[in-house]
Amino acid sequence: MRQADLPGELGCQFTTDDGQVLLIAMGNVASSEPARGVVKVAGYVEPVSAPGGFDGITDSPTFNGKGKTVRIQVTGEPSEGGESPPRPATLTYDRADGAQRAWPGEWQCGP
């Protein structure tokens, strides 16, 4: 996942409570180009995108990909201090066939 070649100057990632990185996305600030990312579910890494560049993915974004929608819902205040602290969040993965799965974790954005 971390080796994904994603365009953009800043990024975000979702990490589960047990330390697994499930989604990484990158985008440019003040851009009309979508942010690009990869999501890993059931051992498969697949591309996703979200509108609005980096600015569009910092707070509870929705990513779309072939046959899937991935929603990040920020659920609380930052758990640490600093420039880009992680925030508690839930990643919900919806498949086109109606199957759904959710993971608690943290959403962190920055350089």
Structural domains in the chain? 10-110 (2.40.128)
CB-based contact 61:72 (threshold 8 Å): yes
For 56-107, the pLDDT digits (tens) are: 999 999 999 999 999 999 999 997 787 889 999 999 999 999 999 999 999 9
Q: Is the pLDDT of residue 8 over 70?
A: yes
The pTM assigned to this predicted structure is 0.93
Burial annotation 69-103 (CB, 10 A radius, 16+ → b, else e): ebbbebeeeeeeeeeeebbbbbbebbeeeeeeeeb
Question: In this model, does residue 2 exceed pLDDT 70?
Answer: no
